[in-house]
Amino acid sequence: MTAGVLLGVDPQYEVNTEVSVGSPMDSSLDLESRDIIGLLYASIVQDQGTQNSVREATGIDEYTVATQKTSVPGVINVRIRAESPENAQRVTDAVVESMKNRSDYLNLESSRVLAEGQARQIRDLETEMAERFASDPYADVSGLQSQIDQIRESDGEATQVVQPVVFAQNNNGGEVAWPKIAPTSLVVGLATFLLLQIPLTIWGLMRKRRADALWLRVTSRRFGVESEIAEAVDGGLPPLTESRVVGVLSQCGTVIILGEVDPHQEFGDHDPDRVQLADFDAKWWREIPPDAINLGIVVIDQGDRSAEMATDAVERLVESDIPTILVMRRKRRDHPRPTEEEEFHAATSGDRA
């Protein structure tokens, strides 16, 4: 069933690029400076200037970009997804070219970082010299002094631009990166298994059409997401989930809510543009990049027959590495619990009888 749903989703192709800060063999950059400058490049990849450069160079608007640090200091991963392998590669080339061209900003920032790194190295060497003199007033510290002199002499070279270097690149063999469809043999085997167990299959499918406590528990465990089942007022969110939304908004984050939610629900004085509402099957990733979303919420009413669509919505959020909460709004009790006075009258009237 999941494979069938995903087949209807527009495929995304991906290019992963490892970008190094300068040459990996350049010994003039210490590890901490490499790491800091790498973060500068990562921020540039996703800013408006790079987006404008990509649009001018390729004419492509429909793509997503994500960056992350790697285990190697000064090496960042740039992940580009687009609707075709060619577009993903074109956008990647344009992003890398934009990083190289925007040297003025990087020159100022990298020079500052390098200067701070050199000052840090000198302080460490001077501290080591002081420690040696403290233990031995006649200690030979000429080697340490020589290192300090070399760092100070290279101060003029610190203003050179640290250019990004493509360290490695992988386009996933031109295959679809998302959604990930199971191999054909697995789909055929699953279909055969379902045909052999028609009665049980029909029962299972009928059950999945409605949202209930069992579905909530199974789905949340399957995808490893948080869940909440509670009453909500006027088609809004339950209290705990609403508090999570407010917490993210207070940190200037962005929240996407999939399902039927009252669009007029208030979230304090926070920017309403940072609360995105969409249907279960909406192609929300075309409007807002997944890496820009800090929290995803899938909300459904108890007994709703759209449980399968809600499941697919959860899967898409999880596949996009978005923290997700699955919410089922419980129906209100038709007969409220009797008050203590009503219980007392009921009990005493029974005794009199």
Tokens matching residue 168: 């490695």
Tokens matching residue 302: 């108890």
List b or e across 154-178, with b for residues whose CB sees 16 or more CB atoms inside 10 angstroms. eeeebeeebebbebeeebeeeeebb
352 to each of 341, 344, 345, 346, how far by Cα in Å? 17, 12, 11, 10
Greater confidence (109 vs 327) lies with 327
Q: Is 80 exceeded by the pLDDT of residue 320?
A: yes
pLDDT tens, 67-103?
Answer: 998 888 888 999 999 999 999 999 999 999 988 887 6
Q: How far apart are CA 100 and CA 77, in angstroms?
A: 16
Q: How far apart are CA 48 and CA 242, in angstroms?
A: 31
Region of poorest pLDDT, from 161-165, 167-171, 315-319: 161-165
Average pLDDT in the 258-277 region?
76
Q: Is 50 exceeded by the pLDDT of residue 158?
A: no
* pLDDT reported for residue 15: 95
Q: Which residue has the tokens 């028609």?
A: 198
Average pLDDT in the 33-54 region?
86
Q: Cα–Cα–Cα angle for 302, 305, 307, nearest 5°?
A: 75
254 to each of 79, 247, 290, 294, 308, how far by Cα in Å? 21, 11, 10, 5, 25
Q: How far apart are CA 250 and CA 258, in angstroms?
A: 20
Q: What is the DSSP letter of 155?
A: G
pLDDT tens, 180-202?
Answer: 655 544 655 666 666 666 555 45
pLDDT tens, 200-229?
Answer: 545 555 555 688 888 899 999 999 999 999
* pLDDT reported for residue 30: 76
Dihedral (Cα; 146, 116, 36, 153), 10-degree rounding: -40
Q: How far apart are CA 353 and CA 350, in angstroms?
A: 5
Average pLDDT in the 155-163 region?
57
Q: Which residue has the tokens 């007029």?
A: 264
Q: How far apart are CA 274 and CA 249, in angstroms?
A: 7
* pLDDT reported for residue 95: 93
* pLDDT reported for residue 23: 73
* pLDDT reported for residue 74: 84
pLDDT tens, 279-291?
Answer: 998 888 888 888 8
